Amino acid sequence: MRLRPVVLLPIAALVVLGGAVFLLRDQVDAVSAPSWDNTNPLIAEQAEAVDYRPDHPAPAPPDSLEIDSWDAESLRVRWGSALPGGGDPAAASGYELGWSGGGQTGQLLVASPAAEIRDLDPQTPYAVEVRSVNALGERSAPVRATARPAEAHRETHLAGLAVTHDFDEHTLDGDHWQVTSLECPPRRLPEGGLTGGTPCGRSSLRHRAPFVLQAPDRDGIRGRILLRSGGVSANHWMSNSQTVGLSIALTPPGYGNRGAEFLTAPSDRQADTAGGMPPGSVALILTRDGPRLSVAPGLMTEGNDVEQLDGFSSATGVRSLWELRIEDTRLVMLQDGIEVTSVPVLLPWETADLSLAFSNWNGAEPSLDLIGMSAVDEDVRMDVVSMSDVLGEPVPTPVENSPHLLAAANRVEFVSTHTVEEDGILHLDGEDVELEEIPSTEPGRVWARADLPVDTLRADPAILTAASTEDLPPLTGLLHVWSGPPRQPAEAYPLHQAPPSTPELPTAPAMVRSDGELIDIQSPGASVPRGELEITILIDGRRQEGRTSQVLPAAGFEVLANDGVLLRVPAHEDGPMVGGLHSFTVDVSDHPHDTLILRTWVHGLTAGELEVAPIVQLRLTD
C-alpha cells in the first residue's frame, strides 16, 4: 500500500478505511459552522491534525474601502482590487465580505470588488470587513469600516429632476406608465424594483407623458434621465443568442414604439449605430457585456467620433446609478456620476416617447428600482395600442375593452412600418385611409402614418380594419391615442411578485489522475483502473457571474463506494469550506467494490441532503 504526500493546504489528516488509504490536506476559512457528528462507521483510524505553514505569503488585502447607500436600508461596499492575476494559487482570487450589527451577521464571497448588503436597519451601525481570498482558501488581513445606512444614504443625485418614480410598490401607476408587453408584464422583485416577466422573460413599458428637452443650462445640459439598476453588468454574455439587460429609449413623435426593443446583438463598442431604430431615436442599453449608447443613423456628428472611457465598474447584483444626459451637442452616459461614454449628436426633436425594456435569461434578472427625469409634459398623455390588438389577435384590444382610452382622447394616430414589397390597406368604416409616408433610415423599409377621426372611432372602434392586397398580409401598426391629464379614474397595473432567488450551490469540480494520467470523468460511465488514484477537488463558493442569489458555503465532501461511506471530510470546527483546494490519494487496488462516488455537502444542511452537481461517479476496472 503506497502513500504519496501532496503538500497543498495547511491541515492534514491520514485516514485508513476498508481497503483504501487517504492522505488528505485541507484548508478552510474561519467563520461560524454547524457541528457535524462523525457517524461514519467505516472509519478505523484518524490521525490528529498536523499544523502546516505554507512557504508563500498570504494574499494582499484590499484597499480604499468605501461605503455608501442608495436607500436607507442598504449599504453598498466597494474596495480597491487586490487581484494580481498570473495564475498563482496563493494570489488573491476573490473576496470575503462580512458584516454585523444589531444582532444581524452575514458573509458573502464575491469575485468583483463591490457588493450590496440589503434589508438593514437604518439607524444601526454595521461593522463591515473585507478580506482577499486565494484559491487555497487562505485569507488576507481584513480592512474594516463602520457605517449607519441612514447616514450613508444621500439623494443628492436626484437634485434638479422634476419627476421621479420609485418602483417599490405592488402596483404600477397607470396614470404615468403603460405596460406594452401585455403577454409578459414586468414583475416586482422581493426586495423591491421591477424585472422582466415570465414566462417569456422580456417585458416593456413606456411613460405616458412625453419626455421634454429644455433650453440648455449653463453647463449645456438639456435633459437628464437617471436609472438605479442592478444585476445587468457582468462583463460577458450568457449565450450568443440571448441578451440579458435593461434598455431605455427615446423615440421622436410620429414613430411607433411599444417599448425599448433595442437589446441587440453583442457589441464590443460603448456606442454604436443601430439601423433598425426609428429615425431620431437614442437608447441607453445595459447588458451583461457592459453599458453602451445606441443611436439611429444620421444623428452622429463630427465623423462619428465616439469618446470611450475605460474603467466602468462591473459588479453583478450591485446597484448603480446610470444617467443618460442630453447636452446641446453630445449624448453622455454616466455611471455613479462618472462619465463612461459620450457621442456627438444633434437631436431633431424637442419631445420624445420614453420606454423601457427588460430581458431576463437563465436566472439573471436585471432590476430597476428608480427612474428620474428632468422634465415631462404633464398636460399630455399618450397610449400605444398594437394594431393586432385592435384586430382581436392575439390579445383583446385595449381600445375596445378600456373605453376611457377613447372617451378622453383628443387625437388618434395610426403608425405603420413595413417593407417596400408590402402594400396593405387600412379601412375605416369601409373607406380606404390614405397613409402619409414619413422619413426612414433603414433601406427597404417604409414608415407611414395617418390621423384618424376620434369621434368616429369613439362611436365604434370595430370599424377600423386592415386588408391585404393580392397575397400580402394585412397592414399592421400602432395606434397612438392622445388625451389630457390625468385619466379618471387612474388605473394601476398589478405586479406579480418575482420569487426569491433560490440559493445556489458552490461548484466543486474534481480531477482524477491514475499513474499521472488525467481521467475524463465527465463522460457517462467513466471508468478508472484499480490502483492508486490522485483526487483533487476545488470548492468555489463565489457567486456565478450574472447571478444575484446567495451561494451556500460547502460543509464538506465524502467519497462513497456502493452506498458505503469510505471517507467523510466535514468542515473543521473553525468553519465551513467556503473555498479551497483539497487533494488526497487513495489506493483502491484491493477495494471490494466497483464504484466510487464523489459528493459535496452544503453548509447548514444535513450531510448528503443537498448535493453539488455534478456528482462524480467512477467505475473501477481491473
Output the domain CATH number for residue 86: 2.60.40.10
More confident residue, 293 or 562: 293
- Residue 184 and residue 315 in one domain: yes
* pLDDT score, position 515: 82
- Residue 442 and residue 399 in one domain: yes
Of the three residues 380, 409, 442, the one that is the final residue of a domain is 380
- Residue 216 and residue 362 in one domain: yes
pLDDT > 90: percent of the chain: 9
**Residue 577 placed within a domain:** yes
Find the range with the poorest average confidence among 4-8, 107-111, 334-338.
4-8
Cell numbers given for 119: 434589508
* Bridge partner list, 517: 514
Residue 403: partners with Cβ closer than 8 Å, 6 or more residues away: none
- Residue 67 and residue 33 in one domain: no
- Residue 43 carries which side chain, given as an amino acid letter? I
* pLDDT score, position 136: 60
* pLDDT score, position 10: 32
* pLDDT score, position 551: 56
**Residue 138 placed within a domain:** yes
**Residue 2 placed within a domain:** no
**Residue 507 placed within a domain:** yes
**Residue 494 placed within a domain:** no
The answer to whether 517 and 565 have CB atoms below 8 angstroms apart is no
Of the three residues 356, 380, 404, the one that is the final residue of a domain is 380
Instruction: Compute the average pLDDT of residues 279-284.
Output: 88
- Residue 533 and residue 415 in one domain: no
**Residue 497 placed within a domain:** no
- Residue 404 and residue 314 in one domain: no
- Residue 42 carries which side chain, given as an amino acid letter? L
Q: What is the overall mean pLDDT for the chain?
A: 70
The pTM score is 0.67
More confident residue, 327 or 436: 327
Residues 159-171 as b/e (b if ≥16 CB within 10 A, e otherwise) read eeeebebebeeee
The answer to whether 617 and 595 have CB atoms below 8 angstroms apart is yes
CATH code of 180's domain: 2.60.120.200
Residue-number span of the structural domain to which 31 is assigned: 11-56+502-621
**Residue 223 placed within a domain:** yes
Find the range with the poorest average confidence among 8-12, 75-79, 493-497.
8-12
Residue 33, pLDDT above cutoff 70: no
Residues 583-605 as b/e (b if ≥16 CB within 10 A, e otherwise) read bbbbbbeebeeeebbbbbbbbee
Of the three residues 152, 185, 202, the one that is the final residue of a domain is 152
Q: Rounded distance, CA 276 to CA 333, Å?
A: 21
* pLDDT score, position 474: 58
H/E run at residue 151: helix 149-152
- Residue 298 and residue 200 in one domain: yes
Find the range with the poorest average confidence among 58-72, 117-131, 189-203, 214-228.
189-203
Looking at the structure of the chain, the number of domains it has is: 4
Give the pLDDT band of residue 564 (cuts 50, 70, 90). Answer: low
Instruction: Compute the average pLDDT of residues 482-502.
Output: 70
- Residue 288 and residue 373 in one domain: yes
The answer to whether 143 and 61 have CB atoms below 8 angstroms apart is yes
Q: Rounded distance, CA 119 to CA 102, Å?
A: 12
In tens, the pLDDT along 100-148 reads 998 888 887 777 788 888 889 999 999 999 988 776 667 788 899 999 9
- Residue 206 and residue 348 in one domain: yes
- Residue 432 carries which side chain, given as an amino acid letter? D
- Residue 296 and residue 434 in one domain: no
**Residue 496 placed within a domain:** no
Place of cell 483526487: 535
- Residue 202 and residue 307 in one domain: yes
Find the range with the poorest average confidence among 202-206, 217-221, 555-559, 592-596.
555-559
- Residue 73 and residue 194 in one domain: no
Instruction: Compute the average pLDDT of residues 253-261.
Output: 61
In tens, the pLDDT along 424-469 reads 677 777 777 888 888 776 677 778 888 888 888 777 776 777 665 5
The answer to whether 114 and 228 have CB atoms below 8 angstroms apart is no
